[in-house]
Amino acid sequence: MDNIRRDFVVGEEVVHALRGVSFTINEGEFVTIMGTSGSGKSTLLNILGCLDTPTSGEYKLDGTPVRTMSKPQRAILRNRKIGFVFQNYNLLAKTTAVENVELPLMYNGSVSARERRERAVTALQRVGLGDRLNHKSNQMSGGQMQRVAIARALVNDPAVILADEATGNLDTRTSFEILVLFQELHAEGRTIIFVTHNPEIAEYSTRTINLRDGKVRDDVVNHKILNAAEKLATLPVNDD
Amino acid sequence: MNGTNLFKIALKAINNNKMRSFLTMLGIIIGVASVITMLAIGQGSKQSIKKNISEMGSNMIMINPGADRGPGGARQSADEMQTLTLKDYQDIVDQAKYLSAVSPNVSSGGQLIFGNNNYQSSVTGVSEGYLTIRQLTVESGTMFTEADIKSAAKVCVLGKTIVDNLFPSGADPIGQVIRFNAIPMKVVGVLKSKGYNSMGMDQDDIVLAPYSTVMKRVLAQNYLQGIYASALTEEMTDIAIKDVTNILRTNHKLKEGEEDNFSIRSQEEISSMMTSTMDMLTILLACIAGISLIVGGIGIMNIMYVSVTERTKEIGLRMSVGARGIDILSQFLIEAILISVTGGVIGVLIGIGLSMLMKTVLHWPVSIQAWTVLLSFLVCTITGVFFGWYPAKKAANLDPIEAIRYE
């Protein structure tokens, strides 16, 4: 990612959301992107997720330049290379866990119905929901729904998992459960970018990028990574 | 992205909103059912009219004196009304090749009296061929004979209505002498009842007598009011008309370029006139039903449109996991088409059921034709595409970033 700028035209004013952001995230990193609201966090996430294109600068995902891609091309890129985890889960209503996880593969014509089902089940087992395959999204707790969302992000075996405030809607204990899951995925060699305004989470990642006013304020490698599983053990067990 | 997956996604979306999908369908169901029922009624009436007309004799050719001036051309002088003579009749009988029966037609209105019963009607002077032409049969007694015609015998054959009015007690009219105005006539036969025709005319209100009798004894005239004939087959009607025209032109010594002083009409012409009226009625009915189909289509558009707004977040999610605009467009279009086609199928079934019900309960003449089913089916598919397109396009053009954050 090199010298990314993104301008928005609001009425007659031009808003500079990103004023030249450059960094490289290597494979296997667990990066936290932090910043207060208005710092350009969301815009950066959109660009990283190929939902938006920068006004100028170059962004390469897995070696592929994204800026000049058309909308359908970016859609396919998202489908194959990116896994999204959202703050409010964004599961399909009245739909079972397996069907939710299958969703990205539904838009990939080269995956057969059988393979799709198998991969979805494997992904759900990976996040510890092997026994809740056919639960509908409205029959699950927040933590379970977020696990389904993570399974959905995993199912296409993406180059990078983008999490947008993935623990923002969860209580402390459940947050740490999810964080444990992310650390495990990281340990398996996956690349994770976690966007948050919660400084606590940064302590569990390998690197933190701080944004302020559309620029990188600092970019620090975390040498003292905390173990989320250990922290989880110290937390009181939920009553339910 | 393959079609099967899109189809599955669309089906799932419909299934998740059963009630809404059904209500949307309802518009199409009512539209299609009414189109089919209306057309079935229209087609049924048309066929029943056709049948009635052919019962009157579909091969019938009517030759009338005076040129055919068409509607509004009332220029006929008394002289012109006397152009058909017995000689014309005889020549047609002798020379015409494509006719199975010929009969002169002279009629006179008046009062029929028997005992202290009387009835206002008319006596029609004809030959025996008239029975063939009008497809009448003698139920009891006999038809008058060639000898009766030669001798201008005072005999007659009565229709059912006349019998009922003159012999209310149920006495056998055969052999009785009735009076037409002042002329006594012996009843030799009674015709089998034909009931009312499609135009509401009582086909049994009829008294047949030898044409010679009517001409000489009743009207005292030597010209005919018309000649009825019957072509060998319906297809031969046109050629038979040409043939008869030639015979009559020769007889009347008409020069080349001179206008016919008689006119020939076939039952077929009248029948086509009637059916074209029926066609107009059918089109009218279909238009009314078609409007309800359009309303149904707008219903689809409305629901799909609301559905796009309501499902903005879902669309955003689908896009973020890699659905392209075209995938979203296809999904919504498939949903619209599925709804309208399913509604169409149900509508067709209900339409057919309703038509059958009318046939059995109300005894209406209905006729369901393959093309009406096909047409309404086609129309509702097109409706689905047409009215589904705009909302689908709107969904496809959503910005995924805004869509996914939409609350």
Tell me what the mean pLDDT of segment A67-86 comes to: 87
User: Which of A75, A78, A106 shows the shortest C-beta gap to B9?
Assistant: A106
d(CA B384, CA B334): 9
Burial of A18: CB neighbours in 10 Å, binned 0-12, 13-18, 19+:
buried
Which of B313, B320, B398, B404 is the best residue to mutate to test the A interface, defined by the most A CB atoms within 10 Å of its own CB? B320
Q: What is the mean pLDDT of chain A?
A: 83
Question: What pLDDT digit, counting tens, does each position of B268-295 carry?
Answer: 777 777 778 878 887 887 788 778 778 8
Residue A178, pLDDT above cutoff 70:
yes
CA distance B394 to chain A (A): 16
What kind and span of H or E run contains B191? Answer: strand B183-191
Residue B120, pLDDT above cutoff 80:
yes
Domain membership of residue A171 as a residue range: 2-234
Question: Chain centroid to CA A73: how far?
Answer: 20
Chain-chain contact of B404 with A90 (C-beta, under 8 angstroms):
yes
Chain-chain contact of A72 with B324 (C-beta, under 8 angstroms):
yes
Q: Which residues of A touch B12 (CB under 8 A)?
A: 95, 99
Buried b (16+ CB within 10 A) or exposed e, A53-70: bbbebebebeeeebeebe
B324 touches chain A (CB under 8 A): yes
CA distance A79 to chain B (A): 4
Chain-chain contact of A107 with B327 (C-beta, under 8 angstroms):
yes
User: Which of B5, B9, B326 shows the shortest C-beta gap to A72?
Assistant: B326
Chain B residue closest in CA terms to A50: B320
What kind and span of H or E run contains A58? Answer: strand A56-58
Q: Which residues of B touch A80 (CB under 8 A)?
A: 322
In a domain, A239, yes or no: no
In a domain, A240, yes or no: no
Please name which of B319, B372, B308 lies closest in space to residue B344, comparing C-alpha atoms: B372
Please report the pLDDT score of residue A219 as a whole number: 85
In a domain, A154, yes or no: yes
Chain A residue closest in CA terms to B399: A51
Residue A239, pLDDT above cutoff 60:
no
Task: Report the SS3 class of residue A184.
Answer: helix
Chain A residue closest in CA terms to B397: A71
Question: What was the ipTM of the complex prediction?
Answer: 0.87
Q: Which residues of B touch A109 (CB under 8 A)?
A: 1-2, 5
Taking CA atoms, A195 is separated from A80, A171, B201, B229, in Å, by: 21, 18, 89, 98
Please answer whether residues A148 and A129 qualify as being in contact, where contact means their C-beta atoms are separated by less than 8 angstroms: yes
Chain-chain contact of B320 with A78 (C-beta, under 8 angstroms):
yes
Chain-chain contact of A107 with B12 (C-beta, under 8 angstroms):
no
Q: What is the mean pLDDT of chain B?
A: 83
Chain-chain contact of B9 with A108 (C-beta, under 8 angstroms):
no
Tell me what the mean pLDDT of segment A35-44 comes to: 81
For CA atoms B155, B161, B167, B172, give the dihedral sign. Answer: positive
Tell me what the mean pLDDT of segment A132-140 comes to: 85
Chain A residue closest in CA terms to B1: A109
Chain A residue closest in CA terms to B10: A106
CA distance B315 to chain A (A): 10
d(CA B332, CA B308): 8
Task: Report the SS3 class of residue B109.
Answer: strand
Residue B114: left if φ>0, alpha if ψ -120 to 50, beta else—which one?
Answer: beta
Tokens (6 digits) for B230 = 């019957």
d(CA B177, CA A212): 122
CA distance A65 to chain B (A): 17
- Residue bearing the bigger pLDDT, A90 or B53: A90
Residue A2, pLDDT above cutoff 70:
no
Beta A64-65 vs A60-61: how paired, if at all? antiparallel
B217 touches chain A (CB under 8 A): no
Chain B residue closest in CA terms to A94: B16
Q: In sequence order, what are the residues at sequence separation of 6 or more whose Cβ sits closer than 8 angstroms to the Cβ of residue B61? A: B99, B228, B229, B230, B231, B237, B240, B241, B244, B264, B265, B266, B267
Q: Which residues of A touch B322 (CB under 8 A)?
A: 75-76, 78-80, 104, 107-108, 156
Query: Which residues partner with B156 through β-bridges?
Result: B187
B9 touches chain A (CB under 8 A): yes
Neighbours of B18 (CB within 10 A): 9
Query: Which residues partner with B117 through β-bridges?
Result: B114
Please report the pLDDT score of residue B210 as a whole number: 92
Tokens (6 digits) for B396 = 């496809």
In a domain, A175, yes or no: yes
* Residue B118 identity: N
Tell me what the mean pLDDT of segment B3-17 comes to: 80
Chain-chain contact of A95 with B12 (C-beta, under 8 angstroms):
yes
Chain-chain contact of A107 with B322 (C-beta, under 8 angstroms):
yes
Q: How confident is the model at residue A172 (pLDDT cuts 50, 70, 90)?
A: confident
CA distance A136 to chain B (A): 12
Name the pTM for this structure: 0.67
Q: Which residues of B touch A94 (CB under 8 A)?
A: 16
Which of A61, A81, A107, A108 is the best residue to mutate to test the B interface, defined by the most B CB atoms within 10 Å of its own CB? A107
Chain-chain contact of B400 with A51 (C-beta, under 8 angstroms):
yes
Chain-chain contact of A75 with B323 (C-beta, under 8 angstroms):
yes
Chain-chain contact of B404 with A86 (C-beta, under 8 angstroms):
yes
Pick the range with the lowest mean pLDDT from A5-19, A173-187, B75-89, B150-164: A5-19
d(CA A214, CA A19): 5
Please answer whether residues B199 and B56 qualify as being in contact, where contact means their C-beta atoms are separated by less than 8 angstroms: no
CA torsion, points B346, B349, B352, B353, in degrees to nearest 10?
-100
Residue B7: left if φ>0, alpha if ψ -120 to 50, beta else—which one?
Answer: alpha
Residue A195, pLDDT above cutoff 60:
yes
d(CA B361, CA B407): 55
Question: What pLDDT digit, counting tens, does each position of B350-393 carry?
Answer: 988 988 888 888 777 788 878 888 887 787 788 778 888 888 88
What kind and span of H or E run contains B382? Answer: helix B370-396
Chain A residue closest in CA terms to B17: A94
In a domain, A86, yes or no: yes
DSSP string, B194-243: --B-TTS-BTT--EEEEHHHIIIIII--SB-SEEEEEESSSTTHHHHHHH
CATH number of the domain within which A26 lies: 3.40.50.300
Query: Which residues partner with B316 through β-bridges?
Result: none
Question: What pLDDT digit, counting tens, does each position of B185-224 carry?
Answer: 999 999 988 877 656 778 888 899 999 888 888 888 888 8
Q: Which residues of B touch A156 (CB under 8 A)?
A: 321-322
Residue A168, pLDDT above cutoff 60:
yes
d(CA B359, CA B367): 9
Task: Report the SS3 class of residue B368.
Answer: coil
Question: What pLDDT digit, counting tens, does each position of B134-192 carry?
Answer: 888 888 888 888 888 888 889 999 998 888 888 888 888 888 899 888 889 999 999 98
Residues of A with CB under 8 A from a CB of B: 46, 49, 51-52, 71-72, 75-76, 78-80, 84, 86, 90, 92-95, 99, 103-104, 106-109, 152, 156
CA distance B9 to chain A (A): 8
Please answer whether residues B59 and B230 qualify as being in contact, where contact means their C-beta atoms are separated by less than 8 angstroms: yes
User: Which of B314, B320, B400 shows the shortest C-beta gap to A92?
Assistant: B314
For residue B101, which phi and psi values (nearest 5 degrees)?
-155, 150
Query: Which residues partner with B265 through β-bridges?
Result: B62
The count of CB pairs under 8 A between chains A and B is: 67
B319 touches chain A (CB under 8 A): yes
Burial of B257: CB neighbours in 10 Å, binned 0-12, 13-18, 19+:
exposed
How many structural domains are present in chain A?
1
In a domain, A138, yes or no: yes
Question: What pLDDT digit, counting tens, does each position of B33-82 carry?
Answer: 888 888 888 888 877 877 777 666 667 888 888 776 555 555 555 556 77
